[in-house]
Amino acid sequence: MTIENTPKFGFGTRAIHAGAPIDPSTGAVIEAISLSTTFAQSEPSKPLGIYEYSRSSNPNRDNFEQAVASLESAKYAIALGSGSATTALVIQSLPINSHIISGGDVYGGTYRYFTKVANTHGVSATFVGNLADDLEANIKPNTKLVWLETPSNPTLSVTDIAKVAQILKSHEEKTGSKILLVVDNTFLSPYISNPLTLGADVVVHSVTKYINGHSDVVMGVLATNNSELHEQFRFLQNAIGSIPSPFDSWLAHRGLKTLHLRVRQAATSAQKIAEFLVQHPAVQKVNYPGLKSHLNHDVVVRQHRDGLGGGMISFRIVGGAKGASVFTSSTKIFTLAESLGGIESLVEVPAVMTHGGIPKVEREANGVYDDLVRVSVGIEDTEDLINDIQQALEKVVATTSN
């Protein structure tokens, strides 16, 4: 069975069957890993099949790309060697001396690329606190792209994608100049949100996180409905060579097949954990999009599947940096580590780990205090996760109250 991008099938059916044809020569239900770097030709420039050389395209990568395109309601997808390579490719496609407007608390590596690498071909970036409110005032004649990450990392503020898309559309109608909207959808995954259906031009993912979901592959992907953009990205990828291996493509495709089950489980547990944290006296502030008290909960309800809040939570703990340190060293199921979106639960302290490179003043202006703890909820049993958090909070109270 071949499943194109058709709304006729539900998400789970597409996750399992899109890009997953039965092998016509062996009948294998699961695709073989195609390691060959080159493919035979019958006459010069007449390949036997559709492949020539594995940098340009490879069966495992093709299949994975078809699956992601289907899940993101896209015509096209391109898989890359990492989420960071995906960001680099998109920015590389801009004309020299372009201007980017980016959300304020984007992924650290994205911030680094915008500020320390993109400038080598004259691309400059303006960071704004809230794109839905502050975008228009920051548009310049050479603004070519808006970079939006929702929910943001690690404070999980939510941006209204449809509203930003609408602002850019009116701008285009007024001035005739098109500004691309790129959404980094890593934190929600295609199961919870499909930015292209809300007006984005390009959606990008660090596949390393939810899409692969098993913390054993570093990979990225982008998807779009715009054929011209797709051709340009494809050309650039082949020219630059930023490709994932066949084995990684195969593993990520296997991971993707359970995306809907994993994300739903993680989000359901995260909701319960967030509600537990809110009422705990050792917790000061909980950032979680699924809470009714979240600043943009109305956007969450409109923009996220079933109003799901995702699997990421952050919260401020009593006892300052010490409290955060004791907590994250005391959990037994939550492993103290960077990254997110895997089957296993993780915990970290952004101020000294993922966001340690950002100056304190800037960090704190974005809500990243020394006592902020970030949690990636995995798919272990909810009750075990809550009990683990409870016992670690008790240790915090015992060590910081005397």
- The one catalytic residue in 14, 61, 144, 209 is 209
Smaller CB distance to ligand PLP: residue 20 or 340? 340
82 binds ligand PLP (CB under 6 A): yes
Site string for ligand PLP, 91-130 (x = CB under 6 A): ----------------x-xx--------------------
Rg (CA), the chain: 22
Separation CA 151–CA 143 (nearest Å): 23
Other Cβ atoms within 10 Å of 276 Cβ, number: 18
Separation CA 375–CA 324 (nearest Å): 12
- The one catalytic residue in 105, 184, 201, 370 is 184
CA 149 to chain centroid: 8
Sign of the Cα pseudo-torsion (153, 156, 160, 162, in order): positive
Which position's Cβ is nearest ligand PLP? 83
In angstroms, what CA-CA distances link 179 with 138, 300, 339? 12, 25, 31
Answer yes or no: are the C-beta atoms of 146 and 183 closer than 8 Å.
no
Site string for ligand PLP, 150-189 (x = CB under 6 A): ---x------------------------------x-xx--
Nearest approach, Cβ of residue 271 and ligand PLP (Å): 21
Closest CA relative to residue 224, chosen from 194, 247, 251, 250? 194
Nearest approach, Cβ of residue 15 and ligand PLP (Å): 20
Catalytic: 133?
Answer: no
Site string for ligand PLP, 212-251 (x = CB under 6 A): ------x-x-------------------------------
Smaller CB distance to ligand PLP: residue 184 or 371? 184
Q: Which stretch binds ligand PLP (CB under 6 A): 169-177, 194-202, 204-212, 313-321?
A: 204-212
Strands 143-149 and 335-336: unpaired
Smaller CB distance to ligand PLP: residue 118 or 318? 118
Catalytic: 107?
Answer: yes
Catalytic: 62?
Answer: no
- The footprint of ligand PLP (CB under 6 A) covers 82-84, 107, 109-110, 149, 153, 184, 186-187, 206, 208-209, 218, 220
Residues classed as catalytic: 55, 107, 184, 209
